[in-house]
Amino acid sequence: MGAASQPDAIGMVGGGQGASAAYVEAMNQFLMILLVAVMLAVLGVLVAGMIGVARGGDPARSNRLMRWRVILQGVAIAIFALLMLSRK
């Protein structure tokens, strides 16, 4: 068994920069799609909360929506930070 058939640090056979670079690029694409999805979820929760407040809805529901918005924003910031760290 040569060195080319041994898995590298991320478990890809073949090692070398090509395999690692392809993995990083695929992960960046996945994180970007996930970031867009989470940002759209934040927007959806924000709009739902604004509509609820405008209609004079239940304050408990409004509070729950605000909590979800803050959690989703935190997830979006964490994904964004991972993207920035992976692009150095």
Calculate the CA 69 to chain-centre distance.
15
pLDDT at site 32: 94
Strands (E), 11-72: none
**What's the pLDDT tens digit per position in 19-57?**
688 888 888 999 999 999 999 999 999 999 999 989 988
Please state the pTM of the whole predicted model. Answer: 0.72
Report the C-alpha gap between 52 and 1 in whole angstroms. Answer: 65
**What's the pLDDT tens digit per position in 60-80?**
998 999 999 999 999 999 999
